[in-house]
Structure 1
Amino acid sequence: MSSSTHSVLGVAAGSRARNRLAQAKSPYLLQHAENPVDWYEWCSEAFEKAKKEDKLIFLSVGYSACHWCHVLAHESFEDEVTAKMMNEYYVNIKVDREERPDVDRLYMTFLQATTGGGGWPMSVWLTPDLHPFFAGTYFPPGQFRQVMMKLADLWETDPNRCKAAGKQMIEQLREMTNVQSGSHDLPITSLASSIYSRLAKRFDPKYGGFGGAPKFPQPAQTTHFLARYAALNLDRIAGSADAEHARDMAVYTLVQIYNGGIHDVVGGGFARYSVDEKWHVPHFEKMLYDQGQLLASAVELALILPESSPSRGVLTDFARSILKYLPRHLTSPDGGFYSAEDADSLPTPQSKHTKEGAFYTWTAQELRDVLGADSEILEWVYGVKMDGNCDPAHDIQGELTGQNVLYVAHEVDEAANKFGRPVEILQQLLQQCLEKLRLYREEKRPRPHLDDKILTAWNGLMISGLAKASELLRGEEAIQALSLAAKSTAFLRSHVYSEASGELVRSWREGPGPKGQADDYAFLIQGLLDLHEASGKEEYITWAVRLQEKQDELFFDKEGGGYFASAPDEHIILRMKDAQDGAEPSAVSVTLSNLLRLAHFAEDRHKEYQEKANSVLAANAQLLGAAPFALATMVSAAMLTERGLKQFVLTETPSAPRQSPFLDVIRERFIPNRVLIHIDPAHPPRNLARANATLRTLIEDLDKNKGVDVATTVPSVHICENFTCGLPIKSVEKLKSIL
């Protein structure tokens, strides 16, 4: 374990005997390896001990980049007296929610059902049968000890009360998950309109976003849906005004995020959320799943806007910021993407204690020392104040006193007027200043702790974002995006996938992690479909088809329809079918989209895919009717069925990115219901053609002309709807007129 890992929790290396977590692979669990708490991982040994000794289980769930997880650890898990109490009365289990989303999902549902809220750190008290009966999030040290003692006393004096409460709660959760299926024939247009209306009411027209502070980007629940709602309705007379408003809300939100302190203007990338309504003061952890989803949303919304729109330029820069950050700090040497960087770090190499945001914030004097006279312009543009620009109301622990979080306080053209310099010169100067600051902090400040486990699901989200970015960007940037996606895909194929069984594992860090969950399959399949459309490589689509077969085998509910979110596990006492979006889209909703797309990639099997898609809608019909906004990603996918998917089959010898006029036309706008299949005349996709009658016919036509030089094959596009294809389009202008 590195010294930086120890320092995250303020425990000196070697100061204590290491507990069982010293053998863990998860960076989060390793952070607790020197606690005096006798921690177990989620394992049979812990459960057997609880039953044998008739002890309660204390379950603590968090993740390595979580600021308040660190605070709880400092205050309670590192305290000898508290640890002694925990060890005497409890079997203590520590879980990385990113490695075990199945455990997290089950007990988070209990926490939310009993308290009305949730979050991490999550603290849950269980009977030896793994039934939850009390839960909370962060507890201050005195309160934490008090709760520990009261529940231990209750277990000793009245264990049946705890058992009855836990058993009753599990039954209630089971009833929640075993909802009666309804009809898959739902009023999708009405459901989509209700989500749009709710977002319109919650929209903050001043600062962007939906609702008040704290503000999370939440692409799955907001910008992802709004982009599709807009793109599918802009060409309709009825509803076009709502479509424009949907687009404008989403675009304005991302522009405000880009201009806010949640965006690391120095090093690129975006923090997890903002504690204030202005997107100014973030919780500074950077999560891979945010970068992937935000990248996809920025690209989609940019493509809805005219090329001349200033906001399109901002959204393109938004995408570039993530592309700048990702390879520098979240990419492994083998190509897989790491999970996260911490919110907390040491202010200097000599510091003993970490502070939140220490790596990212600046005093005015520091900026002047690094930049000299140029600092004046940068300070004005990025809202710097001599005594710091962070409102104390948004700095509970006082760690940002005197510090500045850089954000766009004034546009460059305003600065040009104020300082009497051309815009182009100022833009160049500011970029030079930001690069100096980046190099300074890389050299002088310890980087935040890196969670270097590689999660299959999150890599899938990033592969999607990169594939989409390669279609928006040009030249070397497009090549870079596609290359990063391809390398991550190659890493996943060789490290987390079994060619023999067809199964995925959840994660990789010094070896394979736990078994794969539904989101690992769903998000990776989505990434492979997007990467095929971006690259034209057949291998991605054929792997996606096989992964869908395995997901169906492991997660499809043959009796009740729909998909389970959790893999089969004897210690997960209730398999959830959680379709609600959170920080990430729900796996079942992404699966719905995947099935609809696969029905057109592998069209011979479209009835099979469509039946499973219908079962997803039927299994969630009740919740869709009651709270469609909780399932925005599912409604987004269902909208595609209403409009029908368009299959574009491009026959063309591959060329360098952005050098195909036909591809340029297809990609110049966001078409949510697009399915793009590439046929290279020299190497046609014969494996995919075995499951696609349209491809078989087109490839047969190519085979008849084997003697013809493929380089002279006239490029063409077939557009197919409802599995019926039109005549080949061989004119770029005609394709433009049709689209």
Structure 2
Amino acid sequence: MVNRLADATSPYLQQHADNPVDWREWGPEAFEEAARRGVPVLLSVGYAACHWCHVMAHESFEDARLADYLNERFVAVKVDREERPDVDAVYMEAVQAATGQGGWPMTVFLTPDKEPFYFGTYFPPQPRHGMPSFRQVLEGVDAAWRERRDEVAEVAGRIRAELAERAGVFGAGSGLPAPGAEELEQAVAGLRRGFDPARGGFGGAPKFPPSMVLEFLLRHHARTGSPEALELVARTAEAMARGGIYDQLAGGFARYSVDADWVVPHFEKMLYDNALLCRVYLHLWRATGDPLARRVALESADFMVRELGTPEGGFASALDADSIDPQTGQTAEGAYYVWEPGQLVDALGPADAASAARLFSVTAEGTFEQGASVLQLPDDPEDLAEYQEIRTRLLRARAERPAPARDDKVVAAWNGLAIAALAECGALLDRPDLVEAATRAADLLLSVHLDAAGRLLRTSRDGKPGGNAGVLEDYADTAEGFLALYAVTGEASWLQLAGGLLDTVLLHFTDEASGSLYDTANDAEELIRRPQDPTDNATPSGWTAAAQALLSYAAYTGSERHRTAAERALGVVGALGARAPRFVGWGLATAEALLDGPREVAVVGPADDPRTAELHRTALLGTAPGAVVARGVPGGEAEVALLADRPLLDGAPAAYVCRHFACEAPTSSAAELAVKVAARR
């Protein structure tokens, strides 16, 4: 027996298709049914790689008796937060406001008018640690609905009013200038205060990769020469790369570390984390030449292509944290990744197992659960050949274990981030196959996610589009990916496509009066409030991602409209940066670019001339914050504004470095260009 989720495009929803719960997808039919029957809606929100979502599904949603009770008294709606980030954002805000915390699975009870009145996250099958059981919650909500409906209505109305009051609060940043040098120094000072000098990173456990903050600090170092900013990046990047959060055998980062030492990860691997971190490590290598950063950037890129690439050319969303433990036959978190000393012996033999244990910090006591250890690499191996051989053999042995499940839906925003990372990584590290992978993913977004009206759909699966409209981050991050592809390939169509997406941002996502940005379009489904948030979460906020893409596009085209929109959007970053720099890293990084110009580099010359290629590569190696790079042939048919009226220099390929289209004297010397764009040679 299957329920209504059997035909869903989301792998997360399909995981619940054989539940005895009569799940429905989010949509008007569910709320109409609740109104017809006079019952509340149970909204359950999660995602495919969510460990506790699986736990609650197994404990409660697979329980036939509990499902009968739920089906009789509620309309059950299941939402994949990755497909509907707007629904997730609105109700998560309510959960956090009411309980002081949030997380997934998110459990919210709604009126048929979509108004929330009772909240929670994971509920256990029996009362535990002061927490009611899920059955008790259902009974309590049902009793309140039937016996105290006026009280429920009052609570729902009050919550809706409170959410309405919060709506537009970030518009208060309108009219403020974008952060200047002083505000950016204050943000660095705030990050310094929160830095963990012993372990790297910011704050305590759990520790998340601070991708956007590290990008800001790299740009700040490039603009100011601050050794402190670079040290915060380098120490954090090395700690993560040597810790258990990084897969020491196959590359790729897990979602976060449950401890402050980066030892034990929450083992799910997300596309967005690896795309963002691939770019951070690449930019760290670009700034310093650090070989560890180079290796991690390449391994993260290869991980995305190998483990997350889809047959259609896109990138899947995630690998699960859980898999079958061969020793027990039961599903367990981290079972695919952890090692006991005896398993090393089985895979390598006693002598090499002892070497592997020393290399990767595998102990008899273990660093994880039940004597198992998460692999770490505290020091560089003394014998590189031995290290590579042991790593290869362990990876081969691990491949025989049951692999984690893969959430193979393609999310436009996250693919945009991956496109940018792979394009840059391939160009800078001489891996044209990575540029080709980025191009294939971009082609998929064009053919499957972009409709004839130029509007994006958020997801697809197996090459078939989902039914959910793109949100602001989809437009912004896809535009970012297309702009990176243009910088690397010189194919002007990518710039033009990015411009079309950003025009949609200006038309449908921007408040003309304030310059603030909304997460959903003005013609999207109406929720109890229109979500809006400039702060970063696991990914750059759509707001600041749009500001970055708008600024870059303006630098290529000279469009004052796009530049002004970027500047207005950054006003709120100035208001938040000094107080909460960890949560506006992408906005601060964009402000660094704005303060630097950003620099606009036009490289002109025959495509097959190695001197053109050298100038182009030097421009891409530049660390000037947010610099844009255009390459073309003088007078070419697809010429963009930045390339217009840029002739060769005495018949030789030339590079022009400009700000606001005011250019320094051109040069044909790669060495001179390196100085102009702050490139390490």
TM-score interval for Structure 1 and Structure 2 normalised by the shorter chain = over 0.9
Q: Distance in 1 between matches of 2:508 and 2:674?
A: 43
CA apart distance, 1:80: 1.9
| Residue number among 116, 121, 124 corresponding to 1:132 in the alignment | 116
Question: Tell me, what secondary structure is at the counterpart of 1:125?
Answer: strand
Q: Distance in 1 between matches of 2:671 and 2:251?
A: 39
Question: Tell me, what secondary structure is at the counterpart of 1:650?
Answer: strand
* Gapped regions of structure 2 (runs ≥ 5): 127-131
Assess if the C-alpha contact under 8 Å between 1:589 and 1:637 holds in 2. Answer: yes
| Residue number among 510, 519, 541 corresponding to 1:586 in the alignment | 541
Q: Distance in 1 between matches of 2:199 and 2:609?
A: 40
Q: 1:738 to 1:516 in 2, by over 3 A?
A: closer
Paired residues for 1:389-408 under 5 Å: 389-390=367-368, 400-408=369-377
Question: Tell me, what secondary structure is at the counterpart of 1:453?
Answer: strand
CA apart distance, 1:620: 6.5
Whether 2:333 is the aligned partner of 1:356: answer yes
- The aligned residue for residue 6 of structure 1 is none
Question: Tell me, what secondary structure is at the counterpart of 2:570?
Answer: helix
Letter in 2 for 1:509: R
* Gapped regions of structure 1 (runs ≥ 5): 1-16, 235-242, 391-399, 414-425, 706-711
Paired residues for 1:93-132 under 5 Å: 93-132=77-116
CA apart distance, 1:625: 7.1
Q: Distance in 2 between matches of 1:614 and 1:201?
A: 28
- The aligned residue for residue 652 of structure 2 is 714
Assess if the C-alpha contact under 8 Å between 2:285 and 2:294 holds in 1. Answer: yes
Q: Distance in 2 between matches of 1:528 and 1:225?
A: 21
- The aligned residue for residue 152 of structure 2 is 162
- The aligned residue for residue 147 of structure 1 is 137
| Residue number among 284, 292, 302 corresponding to 2:267 in the alignment | 284
CA apart distance, 1:487: 1.2
Assess if the C-alpha contact under 8 Å between 1:361 and 1:406 holds in 2. Answer: yes
| Residue number among 184, 187, 199 corresponding to 1:207 in the alignment | 199
Assess if the C-alpha contact under 8 Å between 1:191 and 1:628 holds in 2. Answer: no
Whether 2:428 is the aligned partner of 1:462: answer no
Q: Distance in 2 between matches of 1:625 and 1:255?
A: 26
Letter in 2 for 1:551: V
Whether 2:557 is the aligned partner of 1:602: answer yes
Whether 2:222 is the aligned partner of 1:231: answer yes
- The aligned residue for residue 245 of structure 1 is 228
| Residue number among 369, 380, 398 corresponding to 1:411 in the alignment | 380
Superposed CA deviations along residues 594-615 of structure 1, whole A, max 9, x for unmatched, are 1111112111xx2211232233
Q: Distance in 1 between matches of 2:543 and 2:48?
A: 26
- The aligned residue for residue 44 of structure 1 is 28
- The aligned residue for residue 248 of structure 2 is 265
Letter in 2 for 1:402: G
Assess if the C-alpha contact under 8 Å between 2:81 and 2:88 holds in 1. Answer: yes
Assess if the C-alpha contact under 8 Å between 1:382 and 1:410 holds in 2. Answer: no
Superposed CA deviations along residues 598-648 of structure 1, whole A, max 9, x for unmatched, are 112111xx2211232233234666556764543232222123222221111
Q: Distance in 2 between matches of 1:410 and 1:566?
A: 46
Letter in 1 for 2:321: A
Question: Tell me, what secondary structure is at the counterpart of 2:645?
Answer: helix
- The aligned residue for residue 345 of structure 1 is 323
CA apart distance, 1:713: 4.7
- The aligned residue for residue 623 of structure 2 is 670
Question: Tell me, what secondary structure is at the counterpart of 1:47?
Answer: helix
| Residue number among 681, 684, 697 corresponding to 2:645 in the alignment | 697
Letter in 1 for 2:541: S
CA apart distance, 1:354: 0.8
Whether 2:8 is the aligned partner of 1:24: answer yes
Assess if the C-alpha contact under 8 Å between 1:58 and 1:125 holds in 2. Answer: yes
Question: Tell me, what secondary structure is at the counterpart of 1:336?
Answer: coil
Superposed CA deviations along residues 561-608 of structure 1, whole A, max 9, x for unmatched, are 3221023333422111211110011011011111111112111xx221
Q: Distance in 2 between matches of 1:212 and 1:607?
A: 43
CA apart distance, 1:657: 9.6
Assess if the C-alpha contact under 8 Å between 2:656 and 2:667 holds in 1. Answer: yes
Assess if the C-alpha contact under 8 Å between 1:561 and 1:619 holds in 2. Answer: no
Whether 2:307 is the aligned partner of 1:329: answer yes
CA apart distance, 1:671: 1.9
Q: Distance in 2 between matches of 1:407 and 1:614?
A: 43
* Comparing 184-193 and 589-598, the one that deviates more: 184-193
Assess if the C-alpha contact under 8 Å between 2:631 and 2:643 holds in 1. Answer: no
Whether 2:213 is the aligned partner of 1:256: answer no
Whether 2:474 is the aligned partner of 1:520: answer yes
Letter in 2 for 1:331: G
Q: Distance in 2 between matches of 1:446 and 1:497?
A: 36
CA apart distance, 1:659: 8.4
Q: Distance in 2 between matches of 1:551 and 1:451?
A: 28
Letter in 1 for 2:416: G
Letter in 2 for 1:91: V
Report how many aligned residue pairs link the two structures.
665
Q: Distance in 1 between matches of 2:205 and 2:53?
A: 21
Q: Distance in 2 between matches of 1:387 and 1:730?
A: 61
Superposed CA deviations along residues 408-440 of structure 1, whole A, max 9, x for unmatched, are 144323xxxxxxxxxxxx211111111112122
- The aligned residue for residue 431 of structure 1 is 388
Assess if the C-alpha contact under 8 Å between 2:178 and 2:567 holds in 1. Answer: no
* Comparing 532-541 and 585-594, the one that deviates more: 532-541
* Comparing 559-568 and 20-29, the one that deviates more: 559-568
Superposed CA deviations along residues 475-508 of structure 1, whole A, max 9, x for unmatched, are xxx212212111111111111112x211111011
Whether 2:600 is the aligned partner of 1:647: answer yes
- The aligned residue for residue 129 of structure 2 is none
Letter in 2 for 1:644: G
CA apart distance, 1:37: 0.8
CA apart distance, 1:299: 1.1
TM-score (norm 2): 0.93
Q: 1:76 to 1:328 in 2, by over 3 A?
A: same
Q: Distance in 2 between matches of 1:326 and 1:130?
A: 38
Whether 2:454 is the aligned partner of 1:502: answer yes
| Residue number among 357, 364, 381 corresponding to 1:386 in the alignment | 364
CA apart distance, 1:688: 4.9
- The aligned residue for residue 635 of structure 1 is 588
Paired residues for 1:562-573 under 5 Å: 562-567=516-521, 568-573=523-528
Q: Percent identity?
A: 37
CA apart distance, 1:531: 1.5
Superposed CA deviations along residues 133-162 of structure 1, whole A, max 9, x for unmatched, are 221211111222212211111111111222
Q: 1:736 to 1:405 in 2, by over 3 A?
A: closer
